[in-house]
RNA sequence: GCCUCCGUAGUUCAAUGGAUAGAACGAGGGACUUCUAAUCCCUUAAUGCAGGUUCGAUUCCUGCCGGAGGCACCA
């Protein structure tokens, strides 16, 4: 639709004697009463033309009216000199038809078709808790993957896990001292001891070395157990959240290559300093970071280079996305800067998405101090609320539906805002199930689905319709919203749009009786178009659609 | 100290340089013998401060104030 409008505008502007300015915008006015699209060309050209913008706008509008495409019902000049377009009933009706025929493909595009994309996210560490930070990362990573997939890319999901390194040594040390502790608790215990107790610190450093060497049978055994315990818990979580990974990368598998890559480039890219090997980022306005410590062991930095090698080997992609919390933004720049020098072709394909952090009202979460909210506890709490809601409504309580609703509530609260912003999670104040929320979107979808099932016949857009058309005037925008979310890697545009769409559908539902109503046939087609759009939109967000709730 | 990000109704969030700054929660009022009231309708209230660029600034630039993150052997 935008294409037709731009062409029309361009022609009219040229007929009046000017060139269509670059950077002219075609936007949706804040209010539907102002029309469906607004152009600011007249405002931009007014100065050059030496004319009053309104006058110029009227001239352009006049030329458009000479040969007005059938998709446009009305051209008006408003405000300071905007040219407003109102779309025609013809266009709105044919959009409904298009939505119904495209079904699950409605809203998708082919921007990335033929491209391979790898998305790395979630990245929980074995031996530590899967906390709400991982939940946030998973939610954003999954939505990002689906956006990319909806652009036609061959998309693979990757999960990178730190199964070696000091955190593992700390957990194992904790477990050796106190068998009855859970792995998360053992880690917190070890981390505390490491900071407060010199002997413990030495023992942990020793364990860390032995893990790399695989030289101590007792440690090896604990290590294997811990890995296994963690992985099975993680797998349950992924299933619950609706993520399925194609590749798992482990620090234990990538550190050697990372280490040797760094060693090979000492003197050229990296430098020795105080017994460690560092990368000096100052030349690029960054800071110095240690890639290999003075024990000769790789830090996260060197491992990340090894990871890049492993990814390249396993799935050569055109875009390689890594999703992390914003605390790693600066870190990542340094690693990327080093990567540009040691593997330049690959570095060009790397894209870092950093999201805000889940914080508690008391401040930053820390698994070192044990001050964490686990994903499991959060989901369980929210699920309880959903079950309570079902009970109050007198519906039969169903675990599976309560789970879908709980996860929708959580995902919505993560995805509703700009990706970079922190979220303060207050366990005292429960998540919303009312108003703009995950369940609100699911509920609207469920209502539509339920009507369509009950009606027992198909709708038809050729049938007579009522005068109201707000819903239609939002529906056609879905592909535009998707494209914007894809371009900016910002799922929240989809959330905002779906919320507005659901609200519009609910108003429509309250006003209009669909089954048995005056415009039943047309309204069934409209409800179907809404249901498809909502389903596709929720899929993009990784939110499931229950058939009843 | 240096670098990065962020300051919008009481609260949590929106707003590709555009029109009267939108929602939700909260508060107050109303709507279920009618397709699911996890809903709908009405009322309430905001751009941290000071300059600048622009026909037009929540948005871009500068300074200040406030918050978060990062800055050598953690991830």
ipTM above 0.85, yes or no: yes
The pLDDT tens digits of the residues spanning A297-347 come to 999 999 999 999 999 999 999 999 999 999 999 999 999 999 999 999 999
Q: What is the pLDDT of residue A174?
A: 94
Place of tokens 């340094």: A334
The pLDDT tens digits of the residues spanning A61-86 come to 999 999 999 999 999 999 889 999 99
CB A275 within 8 A of CB A294: yes
Give the tokens for residue A350.
């790397």
Residues 210-239 in A having a C-beta less than 7 A from any atom of strand B are none
Place of tokens 């053992």: A186
Per-residue HEC secondary structure of A206-255 comes to HHHHHHHHCCCHHHHHHHHHHHHHHHHHHHHHHHHHCCCCCEEEEHHHHH
Q: Which residue is nearest to nucleotide B36 (CA to C1')?
A: A447
A32 touches strand B (CB under 7 A): no
The pLDDT tens digits of the residues spanning A104-158 come to 999 999 999 999 999 999 999 999 989 999 999 999 999 999 999 999 999 999 9
- Nearest Cα residue to A288 out of A257, A344, A330: A330
In this prediction, residues A500-525 reach a mean pLDDT of: 95
With H, G, I as helix, E, B as strand and everything else as coil, classify residue A488: helix
Minimum-distance nucleotide, CA of A405 to C1'? B38
Place of tokens 């769409």: A501
The H-or-E segment that residue A532 falls in is helix A520-541
Question: Is A195's pLDDT higher than 80?
Answer: yes
Question: Is A358's pLDDT higher than 90?
Answer: no
Query: What is the maximum span of chain A, computed from C-alpha positions, in angstroms?
Result: 87
Q: What is the pLDDT of residue A393?
A: 81
CA atoms within 13 A on the CB side of A158: 23
Minimum-distance nucleotide, CA of A444 to C1'? B39
Q: How many Å does it take to go from CA A511 to C1' B32?
A: 14
Question: Is A362's pLDDT higher than 80?
Answer: no
Q: What is the pLDDT of residue A506?
A: 97
Q: What is the pLDDT of residue A123?
A: 95
Q: How many Å does it take to go from CA A144 to C1' B7?
A: 27
Q: What is the pLDDT of residue A37?
A: 96
Question: Is A284's pLDDT higher than 90?
Answer: no
Q: How many Å does it take to go from CA A504 to C1' B42?
A: 17
Nearest 10 degrees: Cα torsion A291, A132, A163, A314: -80
Write down the mean pLDDT value for chain A. 93
The pLDDT tens digits of the residues spanning A201-256 come to 999 999 998 998 899 999 999 999 999 999 999 999 999 999 999 999 999 999 99
Residue A86: phi, psi to the nearest 5? -115, 130
- Nearest Cα residue to A444 out of A307, A315, A523, A549: A549
Read off the pLDDT band of A191 (50, 70, 90): confident
Residues 269-328 in A having a C-beta less than 7 A from any atom of strand B are 273-276, 278, 285, 287-290, 293-295, 299-300, 326-328
Q: How many Å does it take to go from CA A79 to C1' B45?
A: 27
Q: What is the pLDDT of residue A50?
A: 86
Query: Which nucleotides in chain B have some atom under 7 angstroms from a protein Cβ?
Result: 3-6, 12-26, 34-41, 55-56, 68-75
């Amino acid at each position: 639709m935008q294409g037709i409008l731009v062409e029309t505008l361009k022609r009219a502007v040229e007929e009046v004697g000017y060139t269509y300015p670059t950077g002219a915008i075609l936007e949706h006015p804040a209010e539907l009463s102002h029309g469906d699209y607004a152009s600011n060309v007249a405002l931009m050209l007014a100065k050059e033309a030496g004319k009053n913008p309104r006058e110029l706008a009227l001239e352009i509008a006049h030329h458009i009216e000479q040969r007005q495409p059938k998709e446009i019902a009305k051209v008006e000049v408003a405000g300071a000199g905007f040219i407003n377009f109102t779309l025609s009933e013809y266009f709105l009706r044919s959009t409904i038809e298009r939505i119904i025929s495209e079904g699950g493909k409605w809203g998708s595009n082919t921007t990335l078709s033929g491209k391979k994309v790898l998305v790395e996210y979630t990245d929980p560490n074995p031996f530590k808790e899967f906390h709400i930070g991982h939940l946030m990362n998973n939610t954003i990573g999954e939505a990002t993957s689906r956006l990319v997939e909806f652009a036609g890319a061959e998309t693979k999901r990757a999960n990178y896990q730190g199964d070696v390194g000091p955190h593992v040594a700390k957990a194992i040390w904790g477990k050796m001292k106190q068998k009855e502790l859970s792995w998360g608790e053992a880690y917190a215990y070890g981390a505390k001891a490491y900071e407060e107790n010199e002997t413990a610190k030495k023992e942990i450093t020793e364990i860390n070395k032995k893990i790399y060497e695989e030289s101590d049978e007792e440690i090896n055994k604990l290590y294997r157990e811990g890995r296994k315990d963690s992985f099975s818990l993680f797998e349950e979580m992924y299933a619950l959240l609706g993520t399925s990974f194609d590749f798992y990368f482990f620090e234990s598998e990538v550190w050697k290559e990372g280490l040797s890559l760094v060693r090979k480039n000492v003197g050229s890219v990296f430098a020795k300093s105080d017994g460690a090997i560092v990368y000096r980022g100052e030349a690029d306005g960054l800071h110095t970071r240690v890639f290999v410590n003075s024990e000769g062991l790789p830090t996260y930095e060197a491992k990340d280079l090894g990871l890049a090698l492993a990814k390249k080997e396993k799935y050569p992609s055109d875009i390689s996305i890594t999703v992390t919390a914003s605390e790693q933004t600066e870190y990542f720049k340094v690693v990327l800067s080093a990567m540009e020098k040691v593997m330049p072709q690959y570095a060009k394909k790397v894209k870092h998405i950093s999201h805000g952090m889940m914080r508690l009202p008391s401040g930053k979460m820390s698994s070192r101090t044990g001050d964490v909210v686990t994903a499991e506890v959060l989901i369980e709490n929210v699920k309880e609320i959903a079950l309570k809601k079902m009970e109050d409504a007198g519906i039969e309580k169903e675990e599976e539906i309560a789970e879908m609703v709980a996860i929708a509530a959580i995902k919505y609260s993560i995805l509703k805002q700009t990706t970079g912003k922190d979220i303060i999670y207050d366990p005292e104040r429960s998540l919303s199930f009312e108003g703009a929320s995950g369940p609100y979107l699911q509920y609207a979808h469920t209502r539509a689905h339920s009507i369509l099932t009950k009606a027992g016949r198909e709708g038809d857009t050729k049938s007579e319709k009522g005068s109201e058309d707000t819903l239609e005037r939002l529906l056609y925008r879905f592909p535009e919203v998707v494209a914007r979310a894809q371009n900016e890697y910002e799922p929240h545009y989809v959330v905002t749009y779906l919320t507005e769409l659901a609200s519009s559908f609910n108003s429509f539902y309250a006003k209009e009786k669909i089954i048995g109503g005056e415009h039943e046939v047309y309204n069934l087609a409209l409800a179907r178009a809404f249901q498809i759009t909502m389903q596709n939109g929720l899929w993009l967000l990784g939110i499931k659609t229950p058939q009843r709730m």
